[in-house]
Amino acid sequence: MTTLQRIEMPVRGMDCAGCCNSVQRSIASLPGIESVDVFLASEKAVVQFDPAQADPAVIRAAVEKAGYSVPAEDNTGETKGTQPLNAAAFTRAVLFFSGLIFGVVLLIVVAGEWLGLFEAVTERIPFAVGVVIVLIGWYPVLMNVLRATWNREVISHTLMSVGVVAALVVGQWITAAIVVFFMRVGDYVETFTAERARRAVKDLTALAPQTARVLRNGDEVEVPIVQVLAGDTVIVRPGEQIPVDGEVLEGQATVNQATITGESMPVEAGPGSNVFAATIAQLGGLRIRTTRVGADTTFGKVIRLVEEAEANRADVQRLADRFSSYFLPVVAAIAALTYLIGRDPLATAAVLVVACSCSFALATPIAVLASIGAGARRGILIKGGKYLELLAKADVLLIDKTGTLTLGRPQITDVVELNGRSREEILGLAFAAERYSEHPLAEAVRQAGRDRGIPLLEAQSFAATPGMGVEATIDGSRVRVGNRRFVEANSDGTGLEAAGNTLLYVSENELPIGILAAADTPRPEVPAALQQVRALGIKEIRLLTGDNESTAATLAGQLGIDYQAEMLPEDKVEIVKEYQRRGHTVVMVGDGVNDAPALAQADVGIAMGAAGTDIAMEAAHIVLMRDDWALVPDVLHIARRTLRVVKMNFGFTTIYNLLGLSLAAFGILPPIFAAAAQSIPDLGILANSSRLLRQKGRE
């Protein structure tokens, strides 16, 4: 079986969604291509291919044939920022600026027409010279149009170029030149619009560490980040950026983790603490044992998720892409009817020139990219416009309890003795059995053991059953710690449960020997956050927990929500499916570990406090990098606001195009002003979508 190869190839020259589609089609048409995603924001193509049938050189050639460039890379894998100016690039630059200069001159000429000087000027400039002026400015656009036509594609400049030809045919070379000028202005506007949307991603990428100070043979050596290996000891001085993910070996520092969590409040890091790349040691120095470097770090994964969020297109964006493919033929038909009915070549040219299909293509991705970038800066990772659209339509919110609604740091409040065993014996066996468990209740047991000074016994074996408990062999005895079903205990602790405690049953060789009561504290910001969630349109909120009925009822009663208790991970998945079968759009909020199946099944899965957690980042559709419930209504607000902006973009560009086409078809809008008007929708979309870059959650 052939192993597929994956490459990330930088692509330059893409200005809109149509450009991405063109590059994608060019690559996908090659033999051996398994999948291809082209991203406007990060200006790259991610390609999976069969190396027996394709190679990077062939893919590069396909991109260049489509009219785009692939920058060279240096030996570190970084794209070179500056490339030697080759003849083709020099020619394009000269032609562009020549066309720009001629365009400015021609604007002056048009102004002269209003002063009665037009005829005198045109008499002094021969028609042949005028055609040369048009060709100089038109050449780069014409090449793109011819290339697209060769590839059997119709782009927005195709119709405008037909309008240029029409103007020249009727002897209006100044009109043709002005059309060309505004075509170039439109290109600049689209480039600027796309660049504005990319800025959030580029700003995030710019924070990635470039070098690290590594301990090699007893000496501190500064090396490029690509040369740092897992296991290396990295030295971070006060005020420096932490370049890797790792565990602190020595030192104490106050670390600003805003780049990861979006939270400006620093945290303390010391021996045993986990730290993340791209965070800053504000006070104090650290020695760190490297665990992950570069793209494998939490920050590297944040960048990857933000860059690749474009792949998950919203349904409204797919609709826009389909609409754009039909829009141009419709415009061509309107132009033909205009000529057949009115026999006015200038009106026909104006129809072809005023149509702005790019504005439809830009309406969704610019807004989505703005929201994704703004969210990333606040510690909210959104994996695509698809999930923003679904979140905006959500009406059911399902919530995990431990570590999600609660702080996830329960404490052992009581120990019930059964079958003659002492509290110390019960807690000692539970302490040993829970030694390797990652569940928050396991940490409560371990903390209780440490607080009471109980010796930690060695467990010869360990196994965890999600949603049930753990089992270990300790001094030859089979010890189980978990819920009542897992331990198969007949004893109950209803009095403790009624008080809101979670019970852990402990058995030794199938004999129940004790009950541990643990209590967790709800997050203080949850009640206000849930009230805001309801105000944003969520009609039903339900707690799903593996805890017992009494504990779940106590917490749900405090928060005023429904609940279902004693649920396994697969039970939560079934609840999600049941809501979906009834036509609801379901949001699931969990911690991303035991809840991973339900997060993946939900229409939108939101993982909380996922900094450094691979499972959460992979399973959830939206990742909250810190444990703050205020981010849940924030992301709901962002989704709804984004959808409103997208609808406004569509409404504006639809009305504008209808008005422009009508005025042009009736001869009211001359080709010169049609060309100028063609760029305005892009500016409107940019201005409207830019509001999302500044959003800070709820307004």
- How far apart CA 82 and CA 386 sit, in angstroms, is 36
Cα angle at 244 between 242 and 248, to 5 degrees?
Answer: 75
| Dihedral angle, C-alpha 244, 248, 253, 256, nearest 10 ° | 40
DSSP reduced 3-state for 679: coil
Cα dihedral 35, 36, 37, 42 in deg (nearest 10)? 140
* Distance between CA atoms of residues 612 and 363, nearest Å: 34
Q: Contact 249/233 with Cβ under 8 angstroms? A: yes
Cβ atoms of 563 and 547 closer than 8 Å? no
**CA neighbor of 386 nearest in space, from 321, 315, 322:** 315
CA 693 – CA 253 distance, rounded (Å): 32
Is 400 one of the catalytic residues? Answer: yes
User: Residue 406 has what DSSP assignment?
Assistant: B
The token pair at 285 is: 């120095």
Q: Which two tokens stand for residue 66?
A: 């489509």
Cα 267 to chain centroid distance, Å, stands at: 26
Q: Where are the beta strands (DSSP E) in 91-224?
A: 211-216, 219-224
Largest CA distance in the chain: 114
Q: Where are the beta strands (DSSP E) in 31-111?
A: 33-39, 44-49
Q: Which residues contact 530 (CB under 8 A, 6 or more apart)?
A: 541, 559, 560, 561
On whether the CB atoms of residues 200 and 377 are closer than 8 A, the answer is: yes
The one catalytic residue in 15, 245, 400, 628 is: 400
C-alpha to C-alpha distance for 541 and 172, rounded to whole angstroms? 66
Residue 57 to residues 5, 13, 30, 64, 88, Cα–Cα distance (Å): 14, 19, 12, 11, 20
Residue 239 per-residue DSSP state:
T
CA distance 512 to 307: 53
Exposed/middle/buried for residue 133 (C-beta within 10 Å: 0-12, 13-18, 19+): buried
| 286-292 and 245-251 beta bridge pairing | antiparallel
Residue 287 is inside which H or E element, if any? strand 286-292
Identify which of 638, 648, 687 has the alpha carbon closest to the alpha carbon of residue 376: 638
User: What's the chain's length in residues?
Assistant: 699
CB of 173 closer than 8 Å to CB of 130: yes
Q: Is the separation of the CB atoms in 31 and 54 below 8 Å?
A: yes
Nearest to 181 by CA among 121, 94, 92, 96: 96
Measure the CA–CA gap between 638 and 626, rounded to whole angstroms.
Answer: 17
What phi, psi does 293 have (nearest 5°)? -130, 150
Q: With contact defined as beta carbons under 8 Å apart, do 415 and 516 qualify? A: yes
Q: Counting Cβ atoms within 10 Å, is residue 699 exposed (0-12), middle (13-18) or buried (19+)? A: exposed
**Would you report the helix, strand and coil content of the chain in percent, each value rounded to 5?**
50, 20, 30
Residues 206, 209, 214, CA angle at the centre, nearest 5°? 165
For residues 657 and 356, the answer to whether their CB atoms sit within 8 Å is yes
Question: Which amino acid would we find at residue 291?
Answer: T
Q: Which residues are catalytic?
A: 400
